[in-house]
Amino acid sequence: MPTSDKTTHFGYQQIPEDEKTDRVRAVFDSVVNRYDLMNDLMSFGIHRLWKQEAISLANVKRGQHVLDLAAGTGDLSIGFSKQISATGSIIASDINAAMLKLGRDRLTDQGIVGNIDYVQADAEKLPFIANQFDCVSIGFGLRNLTHKEQALAEMFRVLRTGGCLLILEFSRPIYAPLSLVYDFYSFQILPKLGWLVTGDEASYRYLAESIRVHPDQESLKLLMQQAGFEHCDYTNLTGGIVAVHRGYKP
């Protein structure tokens, strides 16, 4: 039974806050075995370019310490691992045990073992000491959190002074014609593709809906500023379908 009468978004549904974490976990449990394949299919492979651009914008240096939240199958973790070299460290973290295991197995198979650890954790309640990381990243995970403000506060807490928060997330197309095409694809094509590849149409309908209820570029920038981050900016990718937000801890 829910312990609170507060509600939150789960796609277009309003559900008790206490249920959202389990509902999101069930989505990723359902698609974990075809997760990378679906990323390639539904983005036509462009997600790889989005992640490369995000890694470049983070500007991580050799010897630095990185926390990669919602690490999933490890695409950002792989990129950061190469940048920080053996003298740095990275923690790949995800709330979903199945996704974290898949990412760990994938990175281990690629020989990335010396400078990376894995921690199953809730981004809203990070089990790390304050002022620990030079960069905190979260790729395509912020929109799934129940309390985004709490998560941003936690990311702020664990960053060192001068540290960078990097958020890679779906956002709002900045061109009207693109928005129309994107909406048609998201609601008419994507769920059917999810059903054909994973046998799960509902999870990909949730994906499309969760993007629409997530803050747009300016709204997310404001949330970051309210959490204490300075010099906040964002870079639109693919016409604003995706955006990379950055902010720094003063």
Q: What is the spatial distance between Cα 145 and Cα 119, in angstroms, rounded to a whole number?
A: 17
> H or E stretch including 75?
helix 75-84
Q: What is the spatial distance between Cα 62 and Cα 230, in angstroms, rounded to a whole number?
A: 24
DSSP 32-48: GGGHHHHHHHHHTTTHH
Average pLDDT value over all residues in the chain: 93
The per-residue pLDDT for 245 is: 98
Contacts of 171 (CB under 8 A, 6+ apart): 211, 214, 216, 217, 220, 234, 236, 240, 241, 242, 243
User: What residue type is 82 in one-letter code?
Assistant: K
Please determine, for residue 103, whether its predicted confidence score (pLDDT) is greater than 70: yes
Please determine, for residue 91, whether its predicted confidence score (pLDDT) is greater than 90: yes
Task: Give the E-state strand segments of the chain in sequence order.
Answer: 7-10, 13-16, 65-69, 89-94, 116-120, 133-139, 159-170, 230-237, 242-248
Q: What is the spatial distance between Cα 217 and Cα 201, in angstroms, rounded to a whole number?
A: 28
- Specify the pTM: 0.93
| Domains defined along the chain, listed by start | 9-173+208-248 (3.40.50.150)
Please determine, for residue 238, whether its predicted confidence score (pLDDT) is greater than 80: yes
Give yes or no for a contact between 235 and 54, defined as CB atoms under 8 angstroms apart.
no
Please determine, for residue 3, whether its predicted confidence score (pLDDT) is greater than 70: no
Please determine, for residue 1, whether its predicted confidence score (pLDDT) is greater than 50: no
The per-residue pLDDT for 34 is: 79
Residue 13, burial from CB neighbour count under 10 angstroms (0-12, 13-18, 19+)? middle
Distances in Å between the Cα of 213 and the Cα atoms of 15, 27, 72, 177, 185 are 14, 17, 22, 20, 17
Q: What is the mean pLDDT of residues 192-199?
A: 90
pLDDT band at 2 (very low <50, low <70, confident <90, very high): very low
Q: What is the spatial distance between Cα 147 and Cα 5, in angstroms, rounded to a whole number?
A: 15
